[in-house]
Amino acid sequence: MKCEGSVQVLCILLWFASIYACAGRMKQRDTELSRTNMETSSPDTEIFSADMYLSLGLREQGKKILGFPRVLTLLSSALDRSVQKNERLLETSQSKDVVTIFHGVRPPALTIRQYIERIFKYSSCSPSCFVVAQIYMDRFIQNMDVRLTSLNVHRLLITSLTIAAKFVDDAFFNNAYYAKVGGVSTSELNRLEMKFLFSIDFRLHVSIDTFQRQCLLLEKEASEGLQIERSIQSCRITESWSNKDDSAWYSHSC
């Protein structure tokens, strides 16, 4: 029985190795396609993409990305809004969320922004890796029909980023290191990674168009969020002035 178990484990490891090897070949093909598209694309499209990537902090200015890339700020805000929206829906509808192995008993102490900052600081993942990880998370949520909440967002983040790093970045660490960065055990991250991969049917390929659409979506959500914030602030200012006018009128009347 022990021999059979060892053979099964070996088969699974070989299977994972073949999957990531295939992903590596797809990554190389994407790079070649990207170069071809850049050569055949119009100047306007090329300039637009370059400007967008620079704005988001996806393209390096010099040898090193300085500071916290803007795309990670947008990503953390988008995830935070999604979590708040889903938790409000769960409260008002009184419906129960689908519980998975990604759910914790209670929300972690770190906010989404703090968690992303920690992963970016210690994992050496490229900013593009985070965008790809969000695409993977979207695929997982759609396939599993679950909602993003404060109980599962952190585990989904570290798992999707671990997978994305192996697919996107040229250099990456092993699961033991990512587990330490993410605050989970190595055995748990291994289970999460396997569950995640099966849940998205090992769909690791992300086309250039899909990547750019995700970047545009982050920009759009950020601008909409800013408009809402300004509207709220404007309403508060108007209300404040209105209250002052009312108090002045009452004072004058007395």
pLDDT computed for residue 60 by the predictor: 60
Q: What is the model's pLDDT at position 66?
A: 62
Least Cα distance to 162 among 152, 172, 153 occurs for: 172
The CATH number that domain 50-253 falls under is 1.10.472.10
Quick one: how far is CA 170 from the chain centroid?
19
Q: Which residues contact 80 (CB under 8 A, 6 or more apart)?
A: 111, 112, 113
| Whether the predicted model's global pTM rises above the 0.95 cut | no
Closest CA to 68 of 56, 53, 80, 83: 56
Q: For 59, which DSSP code?
A: S
- For residue 125, the model assigns a pLDDT of 93
The residue among 146, 123, 130 whose CA lies nearest residue 199 is 146
Tokens of 111: 């906010």
Residues of the chain with pLDDT under 50: 1-2, 29-45, 47, 62-63, 227-238, 240-242, 244-254
The 10s digit of each residue's pLDDT in 46-66 is: 545 777 777 777 766 544 556
pLDDT at res. 95: 77
